[in-house]
Structure 1
Amino acid sequence: MTEQKGAAPTQYGRVMLKISGEALMGDQGFGLHPPTVERIAREVESVVALGVEVCMVIGGGNIFRGLQGSAQGMERTTADYMGMLATVMNALAMQSAIEARGLHCRVISAIRMDEVCEPYIRRRAIRHLEKKRIVIFAAGTGNPYFTTDTAATLRANEMNCEAIFKGTKVDGVYDKDPKKHADAKRYGEVSYDEVLQKHLGVMDASAIALARDNRLPIIVFSLDEPGGFRAILGGEGTYTRVQN
């Protein structure tokens, strides 16, 4: 259990926050919405105030989605590398918003670009976390054909995170789309195998299998709910827990 003086206790000492690139575009149809980026930075700040060490992985779909580019005739490997570069842009935007709040943050890229961020070195990344710096992992795994969901699960395992927090637009995992079906039911807890068998869409199959094999819980919650991230870390709020 980790806490700072005056902070509410939490069962988590180190967590991975995974959000989509689309989460950064607010009500826009494309790109970055600075007030939304700043709001998410405040959410992260509130969790750091609990004494929790935070890693982040942000998708790139608000700028470029490799799979979509491939579907439009672009060679898949090239499209995926373009998607990885989009995640670096998002990571730098989030770093700027976090540092504007007086916090220390490092962007670590799986593809070397030393002029703008650090290369991925596991021990260095862990040291940043131990020094209470927020670490944003960019450029996915550095390999095409792997999603940022898989990258988040891989880095969470490498960083010895205790859970992945998947921030979405809904407050958990449902048996069907709650925006289309009024009778959709939310799971309080669901197994990895059930997620795979029922195609519940929490993360891609590779990410779910990697989490399952390493017994890494996935907490699915609404990132649009102000204070939701902190509340769940404090044992409150609405969410779905994916585990064995």
Structure 2
Amino acid sequence: MEQPKFKRVILKLSGEALAGNAGYGIESDVMTSIAYQIKEVIELGVEVAVVVGGGNIWRGIAGSEQGIDRATADYMGMLATVMNSLALQDALENIKVPTRVQTSIEMKQIAEPYIRRKAIRHLEKGRVVIFASGTGNPYFSTDTTAALRAAEIEAEVILMAKNKVDGVYSADPFKDKTAEKYDTLTYMEVLNQNLGVMDSTASSLCMDNNIPLIIFSITENGNIKRVVLGEKIGTIVKRKGSAE
């Protein structure tokens, strides 16, 4: 049996990744592909938690720019992540992967409240845990949620799945043909060069807790498994001097 490099991981999915080429909403073929990729990793014995964004439905910052109160707009974005999480749960359970959704905002009719010890217990039992509604607080992104939950459940790595790029570049590769793809970076380089991998709060949290980050493309089937097995795809971001 293939030996995974990691035992417990956080998979960060952007809302845009769930929309596929449509750009808005949820594309069923994309959701099914992601579910099967997660199942491949679970079958390796890896414990998988997922943080899902909501940008395919609603973005708090965009809402605030339209005149909606920023906190209200952010709460609306949190509800969008719950919709995505329930859709992912359904896709996983359709292929016999046991799943639990935990929300930072209590809505017990449809999901469990986030409880750290309960989440860890689910993971130990082989269940996929999907963390929804961000941190439960406005002004914090789902990137920060991924960093926070990774620290709390002692995940070994955050896998940041992208649907448009296959790593981190020195510039926008769609606009600048000379843009250079990085194989490895430190968190200080990400922050100092403003590379936009994740927001500064999330980057600092990962750096302070020595949590590596791997950015890769999810559009190619099997990539989550390849990353978990240690293949060198995408870009690795880590604290300076830490081991891969």
Q: Are the aligned partners of 1:162 and 1:217 in contact in 2 as well (CA < 8 Å)?
A: yes
Which residue is 1:113 aligned to?
107
CA distance in structure 1 between the aligned counterparts of 2:234 and 2:126, rounded to whole angstroms? 26
Match of 1:47 among 36, 41, 55: 41
1:186 aligns with 2:181: yes
Q: Please state whether the residue corresponding to 1:241 is helix, strand or coil.
A: strand
How big is the shift at 1:108? 0.1
How big is the shift at 1:30? 1.3
Q: Please state whether the residue corresponding to 1:96 is helix, strand or coil.
A: helix
Which residue is 2:238 aligned to?
243
Q: Are the aligned partners of 1:149 and 1:203 in contact in 2 as well (CA < 8 Å)?
A: yes
1:214 aligns with 2:209: yes
Percent of pairs with identical residues: 52
Residue type at the aligned position of 1:47: V
Q: Please state whether the residue corresponding to 1:26 is helix, strand or coil.
A: helix
Which residue is 1:150 aligned to?
144
CA distance in structure 2 between the aligned counterparts of 1:209 and 1:225, rounded to whole angstroms? 30
How many residues get paired?
238
How big is the shift at 1:29? 2.8
Which residue is 1:233 aligned to?
228
Which residue is 2:242 aligned to?
none
1:198 aligns with 2:196: no
1:68-91 deviations in whole A, cap 9, x for unaligned?
000111000000000000000000
Residue type at the aligned position of 2:208: D
RMSD (Å), alpha carbons:
0.8
List structure 1 runs of 4+ shifted beyond 2 angstroms. none
Which residue is 1:163 aligned to?
157
After TM superposition, list the pairs within 5 Å mapping 1:77-88 onto structure 2: 77-88=71-82
Q: Are the aligned partners of 1:228 and 1:237 in contact in 2 as well (CA < 8 Å)?
A: no
Which residue is 1:124 aligned to?
118
CA distance in structure 1 between the aligned counterparts of 2:24 and 2:166, rounded to whole angstroms? 23
Residue type at the aligned position of 1:163: V
5+ residue gaps, structure 2, are: 240-244
Q: Which deviates more, 109-118 or 178-187?
A: 178-187
1:175 aligns with 2:170: yes
Shift of the 237–225 alpha-carbon distance from structure 1 to 2, 3 Å rule, reads farther
Normalised TM-score (structure 1) = 0.96
1:178-223 deviations in whole A, cap 9, x for unaligned?
1122221111110001101111111000000000000000001011
5+ residue gaps, structure 1, are: 1-5
Residue type at the aligned position of 1:78: T
Normalised TM-score (structure 2) = 0.96
CA distance in structure 2 between the aligned counterparts of 1:233 and 1:33, rounded to whole angstroms? 25
Which residue is 1:30 aligned to?
24
Match of 1:93 among 68, 87, 90: 87
How big is the shift at 1:63? 0.7
How big is the shift at 1:174? 0.7
CA distance in structure 1 between the aligned counterparts of 2:231 and 2:201, rounded to whole angstroms? 29
1:99-119 deviations in whole A, cap 9, x for unaligned?
011010000000000000000
